[in-house]
Amino acid sequence: MNPISGATRLAAVIGAPVRHSLSPTIHNAAFEHGLLDWRMVAFEVTAGSGADAVRSMATLGIGGLAVTMPHKADVAAAVDEVDPAARALDSVNTVVLRPDGSTFGASTDGAGFVNAVGAAAIELAGRRVVMLGAGAAGRSIVDALGRAGVADIAVINRTPDKAEAAAALAPMARVGTIDDIDGAGLLINTTPVGMGTDANPVDASRLRPDLAVADIVYHPIDTALLTAARRLDAPTVDGLAMLIEQARLQQQLWTGALPDAARMRAAAEAALSRRGQTPS
């Protein structure tokens, strides 16, 4: 790794709690691999101080922020400009400090998911999608799928109001039922079901070889849902792929270069295995 010098640029992840964030591991692996004179650290920033953190970027010359809970909405309101996804979601996970000192906020989660599906050679154009869950991650996925050419998005959620709100983010999205899986070509789990357990968010008998399955849960990396799909030789996308792809887009916004996915993934896998894949 480049030695730290007076010219080293700083990126930071802000959140509360932040100490278990994989972002420093993933981003520093990419900075090192790309020989970029950047480092990332984690700042524990208490709820309500997200806007202060954004203001500190210009003061301290912090080139990029990754933003996690509970700051995504506060940061969306605090930056000077946002991208269309961040505007639609009222949520920012990435901030860039521009040379003129102004700040630009983006939401890379949904686009990262779309890129992860593409990297698995799963064609989205014309595909019928069923999405389980309608939380923050699910909303970002609906928003991005809305621009990816899918034919239909059926959102299924325990709380119907949240399903409706998520479905309103894309013209081809609607509230669905579990039977929509029968006509679908992609099933996405955006609920935390399967995190740290072998629970499956759907009955495995619903899966088919021609139903691609994506899970945003990444501990364990091989969730019960993905394992059941692979048993049928169905194409799968794991949660780490989305995490890495959204981080690549963050780094592209900060440095201008799209970093190597394999190196970032290897670093994340090593960190997860060191912590025994226990939920953070």
| Interacting residues with ligand ATR between 111 and 140 (CB under 6 A) | 133-138
Shortest CA distance to 174 belongs to which of 160, 154, 159?
154
72 carries an active-site annotation:
yes
* E strands in 68-148: 81-82, 94-97, 103-106, 128-132
* DSSP category for residue 77: H
Q: Which is nearer to ligand ATR, 34 or 135 (CB)?
A: 135
34 interacts with ligand ATR by CB under 6 A: no
Q: Which of 91, 93, 157, 223 binds ligand ATR (CB under 6 A)?
A: 157
Closest separation between CB of residue 91 and ligand ATR, Å?
A: 10
Q: Which is nearer to ligand ATR, 115 or 190 (CB)?
A: 190
| 54 phi/psi in degrees, rounded to 5 | -65, -45
- Distance between CA 197 and CA 278 in Å, rounded? 9
| Interacting residues with ligand ATR between 186 and 205 (CB under 6 A) | 191-193
Token pair belonging to 241:
């792929």
User: b vs e for 110-120, b when ≥16 Cβ sit within 10 Å of the residue's Cβ?
Assistant: bbbbbbbbeee
Strand partners, 87: none
Token pair belonging to 261:
């996915």
Check 27, 39, 71, 72 and give the catalytic one.
Answer: 72
Q: Which is nearer to ligand ATR, 162 or 230 (CB)?
A: 162
Lay out the site mask for ligand ATR across 161-180 (x = CB under 6 A, - = otherwise). -x------------------
Q: Which is nearer to ligand ATR, 13 or 40 (CB)?
A: 13
Catalytic center residues: 72
What residues line the site for ligand ATR (CB under 6 A)? 133-138, 157-159, 162, 191-193
